[in-house]
Amino acid sequence: MKFTKCFIVLCLCLLLGSCPEDKNGDLDIDIGDYEGQLAAWNSQNMLDYQIYVWRSGGGGGPVDAHFIVRNGVSETDPSGWGGKFSSTTIPEYFSLVKKIEKNLTDEYNDERKKSLSLKVSYNTEYHYPTDITRIENNFTKRLYGIDLMPFEEGEIEIDIGDYEGQLAAWNSQNVLDYQFMVECYYGDYGGNRRGEEIYTVRNGVNVNDGPFISSGFISRKNIKTIPEIFSFIKAEEERIGNAYNGIYRSYLTVQYDPGYHYPKQINSRVGHLFGEYEQWEITLLRRRGE
C-alpha cells in the first residue's frame, strides 16, 4: 500500500513538474593560453607604457581610467577613480584573471544551479589581456577592457588656416538667421562613434529647445552658433598646445567653407589621452531668405 502511494506521488510530481530537480548549471572557464600569453608578455620586458582601462561599474555605471607605467610601476594614483581600480599594470591584470577565475569557481561550487562562464581574450602583438568577460545564465557582462600603448615620440601640428581673415569674412556678411548641422566623429578607445546635431539661430542667438539628434558631445561644449565654433577653435588651439607631452602626435587642423567662410571641418587630437580624436563636419543648411 505504501509503495503504491509513493508511486502515485512520484508520477504526479513528474507530470506536474513540481518535484525538485537535481540539475546543475554549467561552468565554462576559458582564459585562453594564459601561461603562454604571460610568458610572451614577460619576454618583451616592457616596463614603460600606458594603459586605458574600462571597467563595468555595476549599479554606478561604467568607469574608466588612464594609467602611466614606468619601470614596471604605475605613476598614476588609482584613488582618483573612487577606488574602482586596484590593478594598474599589465602583470596585475594577469593576476586579476586568475583571481576572477577562482572567485567564479567558488561561486559556482556554492550555487551549482547557476550557469557561469569566464572568457578572456588577448592582444596578438603585445600579449596582454584585452577583454575579461563574465556570462551568468546567458547574461553577458564585460568586466574589464584594456588598451595598451607603448611610449613613442610624437609631433604637434596646429594649422587653423587664415583664422582671422575667415572670421572677418564671416562677420562681414552679418549672417544672423541660419540653420546648421554638425556631424561628429570621435574615438574613445572603443572605436569610432558618430553623432549629429542641428541648430537654428535667429538674430545671432540659438533658439533650439534642444538638439534634434544628440551626440552627447558637442552639446557638452555649449557650442550652438557659428561664432561660438570660431571661439572653440582658439580654445582648442590653446588646450592642445598646453596638453602636448611629446609622447604622441597631437594636431588641430581647420578647413573653411570658401563661400560663407565658416569652419566646415575641424580635426583635433591631443596626446595626453591616446586614441582620442575628434572630427567635426559643419554644414550651413539654410539662411534667411534662401
pLDDT of 207 above 90: no
Report the candidate in 230, 208, 206, 211 with the shortest Cα–Cα distance to residue 280.
Answer: 230
41-45, 140-144, 216-220: range with highest mean pLDDT: 41-45
pLDDT in tens, 74-133: 987 776 555 678 899 999 999 999 999 999 888 888 876 678 899 999 999 999 999 999
Cell of 93: 591584470
Task: Give the pLDDT band of residue 16 (cuts 50, 70, 90).
Answer: very low
pLDDT of 28 above 80: yes
Report the candidate in 279, 269, 258 with the shortest Cα–Cα distance to residue 196.
Answer: 279
Q: pTM of the prediction?
A: 0.54
Cβ neighbours of residue 136 under 8 Å, at least 6 residues apart? 114, 115, 116, 117
pLDDT in tens, 133-180: 998 888 888 899 998 887 777 788 999 999 999 999 999 999 999 999
- Return mean pLDDT, the chain: 80
CA 134 to chain centre: 19
Report the candidate in 240, 278, 277, 272 with the shortest Cα–Cα distance to residue 66.
Answer: 272
Q: CA 236, CA 233: separation in Å to the nearest integer? A: 5
